[in-house]
């Protein structure tokens, strides 16, 4: 097992890169609502006629890290880190020790600031974000979906077990299951209504398209530094394996799920697609939005899942907003309707606890592994992160502004989940946007959002 020393340096602390007063020589980055100089999210992009390259978003542009590496403007750990970013995925960079990613972020921040002598050099590496196609940021070999929202777990539990909604193990360990990495797709990929076995009105199983397609508002969590098999990651070391986050929609076919999930849990009802936003907001960028985990009554103390740093600042205040726009709303030129908004700070389990628990048996993690946080819901009804909760399993149809109703998603619907952070200082940055268009099981025309392809 890794050292149990509770070393808070594994938490990324505030430094000069988070200063809200920092200004860049790139004018569009100053007070940018998504990608100011304090964010610097990482991803992979492709221009027409070129191979995929690693990049960093800044304002309305992308820094081509392959081109930057050819100029080699950094020294020390930052230079070493930059050398890992000349390929078509972020995996090699993600696998580095935190000292490298911190040094890289600091060096990049310094050359982007107003007055930096490297301005001309960096300008020559900029690519207009409107002229690129975003790619998967890393190779994702493993995907685990957790169940960290106690509000979601309780709401869903009430639908099936009114007298005992929360199962006894929930507050003792982070519940999760291994998902399907092969069907993880980027924002903008259409969702073809899946076929599956479900019960008909006569309570007999039949094969057909799901009638209860649902979205799930989740945070995507990327593993950075890998771990060794049979060597569990302690809570004191868990943050050193956390690379960054994106937004995630873990689609569900509720009727298929209801029939198949006993006794082993979800299978085909969850494996047809999981959608993520293209940019990874790094753990370093999230430092200003750290907070202490929400206190809950009757939470048992589990020694293996506690540390001083986690108690002080293990949670993240990441806002998560979900909207729906139906086909008729688009025809009538009506804006999307907000379905819910909540914060990841309400999660019962933190990222460090997910990482540590995942390895408790000795399971090894690899750079680029993806966790889903599970559906994120808050303490009030308007913070529910799925239609399953908002409509109480379909019993209370959702009333839309144009007179339409929804219990579950219909063909033509577009779901958008947007994440962002705001600090008392006024600092705001994007966590990403994931947008998906629901198609019928007979269609598979391509949905493409220019705005999303560059955000």
Determine the distance from the C-alpha atom of residue 184 to the mean position of all C-alpha atoms in its chain, rounded to a whole number: 12
Nearest to 254 by CA among 159, 145, 331: 159
Terminal alpha carbon distance of the chain: 40
What pLDDT does 361 receive?
Answer: 97
The DSSP bridge partners found for residue 53 are: 45
pLDDT at 441: 87
Residue ranges in the chain modelled with pLDDT below 70: 1-9, 443-455
pLDDT tens-digit profile of 59-71? 999 999 999 999 9
Bridging pattern class, strands 213-214 and 252-253: antiparallel
Can 152 be counted among the known catalytic residues?
yes
Nearest of 155, 175, 174 to residue 166 by alpha carbon? 155
Query: What SS3 state is found at 368?
Result: coil
Ramachandran sector of residue 343 (left: φ over 0; alpha: ψ -120 to 50; beta: rest): beta
Task: Write the CA distances from 284 to 110, 194, 280, 349, 395, integer angstroms.
Answer: 15, 38, 11, 20, 43
Which of 437, 420, 14 is CA-nearest to residue 245?
420
299 secondary structure, DSSP code: P
Q: Which residues contact 424 (CB under 8 A, 6 or more apart)?
A: none
Question: What pLDDT sits at residue 3?
Answer: 37
CB 45 within 8 A of CB 135: yes
20, 427 Cβ separation under 8 angstroms: yes
Residues 6+ apart with CB under 8 A from 185: 273, 274, 275, 276
Q: What is the pLDDT of residue 453?
A: 41
Model confidence over 229-242: pLDDT tens digits?
Answer: 999 999 999 999 99
- Model pLDDT, residue 1: 38
Q: For residue 311, what pLDDT is reported?
A: 95
Tokens standing for 104?
A: 């890289």
Whole-number Å distance between alpha carbons of 267 and 419: 27
CA distance 43 to 77: 20
Tokens of 307: 């540390």
Given the residues 18, 32, 66, 152, the one annotated as active site:
152
pLDDT at 297: 84
Alpha carbons 131 and 45: distance in angstroms, whole number: 10
Q: Rounded to an integer, what distance in angstroms lies between the CA atom of residue 450 and that of residue 150? A: 36
């Amino acid at each position: 097992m890794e050292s149990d020393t509770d070393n808070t340096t594994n938490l990324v602390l505030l430094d000069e890169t988070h200063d809200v007063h920092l200004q860049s020589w790139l004018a569009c980055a100053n007070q940018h609502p998504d990608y100011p100089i304090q964010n610097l999210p990482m991803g992979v992009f492709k221009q027409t006629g070129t191979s995929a390259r690693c990049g960093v978003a800044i304002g309305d542009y992308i820094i081509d890290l392959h081109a930057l590496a050819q100029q080699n403007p950094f020294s020390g750990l930052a230079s070493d880190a930059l050398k890992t970013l000349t390929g078509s995925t972020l995996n090699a960079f993600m696998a580095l020790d935190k000292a490298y990613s911190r040094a890289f972020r600091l060096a990049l921040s310094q050359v982007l600031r107003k007055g930096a002598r490297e301005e001309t050099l960096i300008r020559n590496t900029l690519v207009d974000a409107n002229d690129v196609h975003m790619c998967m940021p890393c190779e994702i070999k493993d995907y685990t979906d957790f169940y960290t929202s106690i509000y979601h777990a309780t709401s869903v539990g009430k639908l099936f077990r009114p007298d005992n909604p929360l199962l006894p193990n929930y507050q003792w360990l982070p519940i999760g299951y291994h998902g399907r990495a092969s069907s993880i797709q980027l924002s903008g990929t259409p969702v073809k209504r899946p076929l599956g076995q479900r019960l008909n009105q006569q309570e007999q199983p039949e094969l057909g398209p799901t009638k209860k397609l649902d979205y799930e508002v989740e945070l995507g969590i990327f593993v950075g530094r890998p771990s060794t098999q049979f060597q569990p990651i302690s809570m004191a070391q868990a943050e050193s394996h956390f690379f960054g986050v994106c937004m995630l929609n873990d689609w569900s076919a509720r009727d298929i799920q209801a029939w198949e999930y006993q006794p082993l849990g979800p299978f085909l009802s969850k494996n047809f697609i999981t959608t993520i936003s293209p940019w990874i907001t790094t753990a370093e960028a999230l430092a200003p939005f750290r907070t202490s985990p929400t206190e809950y009554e009757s939470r048992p103390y589990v020694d293996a899942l506690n540390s001083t740093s986690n108690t002080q600042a293990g949670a993240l205040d990441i806002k998560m907003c979900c909207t729906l726009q139906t086909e008729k709303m688009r025809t009538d030129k009506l804006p999307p309707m907000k379905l819910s908004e909540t914060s990841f700070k309400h999660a019962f389990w933190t990222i460090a606890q997910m990482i540590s628990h995942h390895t408790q048996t000795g399971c090894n993690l690899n750079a680029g592994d993806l966790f889903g946080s599970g559906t994120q819901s808050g303490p009030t009804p308007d913070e529910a992160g799925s239609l399953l909760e908002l409509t109480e399993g379909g019993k209370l149809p959702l009333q839309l502004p144009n007179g339409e109703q929804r219990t579950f998603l219909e063909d033509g619907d577009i779901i958008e989940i947007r994440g962002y952070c705001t600090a008392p200082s006024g600092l705001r940055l994007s966590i990403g946007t994931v947008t998906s268009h629901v198609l019928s099981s007979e269609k598979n025309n391509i949905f493409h959002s220019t705005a999303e392809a560059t955000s």
